[in-house]
Amino acid sequence: MMNVNNFLKTDNYWQGKWHGAEKCFAVVNPANGQLLAEVADATPEQARLAVGAAAEAFRSWAALPAGERATILLRWHQLMLQHQDDLGLLLTLEQGKPLAEAKGEIAYGASYVQWFAEEAKRVYGDTIPGPAADKRIVVLKQPVGVVAAITPWNFPNAMIARKAAAALAAGCTFVVKPAQQTPLSALAMAELAERAGIPAGVFNVIATTDAKAIGKVLTQDPRIAKFSFTGSTQIGKQLIKQCADTVKRMSMELGGNAPFIVFDDADLDAAIEGLMASKFRNAGQTCVCTNRVFVQQDVMAAFTEKLQQAMKSLQVGVGTEEGVTIGPLISADACDKVDELVQQATEQGARLHCGGKRSEAEQLFYQPTLLSGVTADMSVVQEEIFGPVVALQSFTDEDEVIGQANATEYGLAAYFYSRDIGRIWRVTEGLAFGMVGVNEGIISNAAAPFGGVKQSGYGREGSSYGLDDYLDVKYVCLGGL
Ligand code: ADP
């Protein structure tokens, strides 16, 4: 029997304690507008206390042998899996994604905790031949210090887990401000952190409605060494500026505008499967979701037909209901924006094959939508759609499509389908993106470096590259030997 009440925390968590606030804010279920909880609305002063707790805990956490940190993190991982059903339900209630996806996210988030716990034991340094017989060059890797993070609502568990797991494994302490829409999954992680025996001050959560003021604390407090953000490019740019005064190290996972290219030598059925997965996960609300689909002219008709057929299997509805594959969008504004992009495209000449409107008036469900004949000047191509809308463009040759795919300020994920080994290498190398899925639509996992180039940001999450982002390199010159 699922019971979210075990994990429904409404106070903020720092220094190993739960703290209320003078004001509270409402967390609602996007599927029906119902109130889920009233959560303590942290003030900037409270954020500073949380940072203080993290600063105080840093020395002793960093000094623990990596194996001991790993043991504690593995307990956290185990607890997440043990309570996967409850945590998944809580996530669906506050975020909207179908329950199966929400449970998948808990397992995915937990997999980072496990992976980094294991990797914590392998933070190897270096010795380098010195410039003279009596000198040696030694390189140590040490945790950067207190890490502050701000995370979005689309993966309320995993976006925190990816950052916290790497930070804690490296020996850093951590303060996160989750998105206002989805604080409950973050607070549930704090409850499990406590049960796992993560020491007071090592993992702290401050939920708030005042992102701006608390964002200032987390980007400007000199006790914080590193700032890690996942969210929009627009806010990311602002936060980069705010971090400049104290020269914080930064990881920025910002927006994307992923191309998905189908060449005429592709296995079309595999391409459809990959597109369905990369487009419709979380109702299209992920930064690596396919945004622009380029199909080579001679397979366009067959591809469109197959895609329209596949999209009939999508079931829109409340995420807790059996069989639902597309939940609500996060807000009325999000729904309006998706609808505006679709309406603009059709007015400018795109062809609407299916969908094109809300499923039910006054609610946040948007019908899976297929557009063809879109062009590069349309907003649906230039902007992140963040909804269940596929926009098809046709192309004729390889160089042309690489140019079109790269014609964006973003550079997060790209996907393409081809069976030609020469083409696979040429296109992979030609795409200006941090991640490329070749004959694959779902690419993210704990062992791989997730991250972008260009205005999609910098830094990597997952893999040993992801751990390096939380480690400082210290060069030691040993002389007089
Ligand atoms: P999204 O479109 O996913 O909501 P945002 O970049 O607006 O993207 O939000 C991502 C995170 O950034 C959320 O936790 C949000 O509260 C936070 N945020 C938004 N505006 C600011 C700001 N001015 N300063 C600090 N954090 C902010």
Quote the CA–CA distance of 152 and 270 in Å, as a whole number.
31
Q: Exposure of 200 by Cβ count < 10 A (0-12 exposed, 13-18 middle, 19+ buried)?
A: middle
Q: Phi first, then psi: what are they for 341, rounded to 5°?
A: -60, -40
What is the per-residue pLDDT for 5?
A: 83
Structure-token pair, residue 56: 């105080």
Of all protein residues, the one whose alpha carbon is nearest to atom 4 of ligand 1 is 152
How sure is the predictor about 248, in pLDDT bands with cuts at 50, 70 and 90?
very high
The one-character DSSP state at 473 is E
Beta bridge partners of 392: 293
What is the per-residue pLDDT for 12?
A: 98
Quote the CA–CA distance of 11 and 190 in Å, as a whole number.
10
193 Cβ neighbours under 8 A, 6+ residues apart: 76, 202, 203
Question: Which among 270, 232, 290, 288 is positioned nearest to 445, based on CA atoms?
Answer: 288
255 Cβ neighbours under 8 A, 6+ residues apart: 232, 233, 287, 384, 410, 412, 455, 456
- Please give the C-alpha separations between residue 426 and each of 103, 124, 314, 350, 400, in angstroms, as whole numbers: 37, 35, 34, 31, 13
Quote the CA–CA distance of 45 and 51 in Å, as a whole number.
10
Quote the CA–CA distance of 126 and 77 in Å, as a whole number.
30
- Ligand 1 center–CA 304 separation, angstroms: 36
Residue 1 pLDDT greater than 60, yes or no: no
How much of the chain is helix, strand and coil, in % rounded to 5?
45, 20, 35
Beta carbons of 257 and 407 less than 8 angstroms apart: no
- Ligand 1 center–CA 211 separation, angstroms: 7
How many helices (H) and strands (E) would you count in the chain? 15, 20
Q: What is the pLDDT averaged over residues 376-396?
A: 97
What is the per-residue pLDDT for 2?
A: 63
Beta bridge partners of 253: 230, 457
- Ligand 1 center–CA 403 separation, angstroms: 31
Structure-token pair, residue 205: 């959560």
Q: What is the pTM of this model?
A: 0.98
- Which residues line ligand 1 at a C-beta cut-off of 6 Å? 150-152, 179-180, 211-212, 215, 231-232, 235, 238-239
How sure is the predictor about 405, in pLDDT bands with cuts at 50, 70 and 90?
very high
What is the per-residue pLDDT for 362?
A: 76
- State which of 235, 240, 248 you would mutate to test the pocket of ligand 1, scoring each by most atoms of that ligand within 8 A of its C-beta: 235
- State which of 25, 94, 150, 151 you would mutate to test the pocket of ligand 1, scoring each by most atoms of that ligand within 8 A of its C-beta: 150
pLDDT tens for 312-368 read: 999 999 999 999 999 999 999 999 999 999 999 999 999 999 999 998 777 899 999
What residue type is assigned to position 274 of the chain? G
Residue with tokens 């963040």: 386
- Please give the C-alpha separations between residue 381 and each of 262, 337, 400, in angstroms, as whole numbers: 16, 14, 16
Active-site residue, from 94, 253, 398, 461? 253
What residue type is assigned to position 179 of the chain? A
Quote the CA–CA distance of 371 and 359 in Å, as a whole number.
17
Quote the CA–CA distance of 90 and 106 in Å, as a whole number.
11
Name the CA radius of gyration of the chain, rounded: 23
Residue with tokens 């031949």: 129
- Ligand 1 center–CA 291 separation, angstroms: 21
45 is catalytic: no
- Ligand 1 center–CA 98 separation, angstroms: 24
Of all protein residues, the one whose alpha carbon is nearest to atom 19 of ligand 1 is 211
Q: Phi first, then psi: what are they for 275, rounded to 5°?
A: -65, -45
Structure-token pair, residue 89: 């339900």
What is the per-residue pLDDT for 3?
A: 75
Quote the CA–CA distance of 351 and 369 in Å, as a whole number.
11
pLDDT tens for 47-93 read: 999 999 999 999 999 999 999 999 999 999 999 999 999 999 999 99
Quote the CA–CA distance of 434 and 270 in Å, as a whole number.
23
Residue with tokens 């604390």: 217
Of all protein residues, the one whose alpha carbon is nearest to atom 15 of ligand 1 is 179
118 Cβ neighbours under 8 A, 6+ residues apart: 70
Give percent above pLDDT 90 in the chain: 98
335 Cβ neighbours under 8 A, 6+ residues apart: 329, 358, 364, 366, 387
The one-character DSSP state at 373 is S
Question: C-alpha angle 406/227/181, rounded to 5°?
Answer: 80
Residue 165 pLDDT greater than 70, yes or no: yes
- Please give the C-alpha separations between residue 258 and each of 13, 98, 251, 368, 406, in angstroms, as whole numbers: 36, 23, 20, 18, 10
Quote the CA–CA distance of 287 and 415 in Å, as a whole number.
13
Ligand 1 atom at minimum distance from 236 CA: 6
Residue with tokens 């992976």: 115
3-class state of residue 270 by DSSP: helix
Q: Phi first, then psi: what are they for 315, rounded to 5°?
A: -120, 115
Beta bridge partners of 422: none
Pairing of strands 258-262, 290-296: parallel
Quote the CA–CA distance of 115 and 441 in Å, as a whole number.
22
Of the CA atoms within 13 Å of residue 266, those in its CB half-sphere come to 30
Ligand 1 atom at minimum distance from 151 CA: 14
Quote the CA–CA distance of 323 and 352 in Å, as a whole number.
26
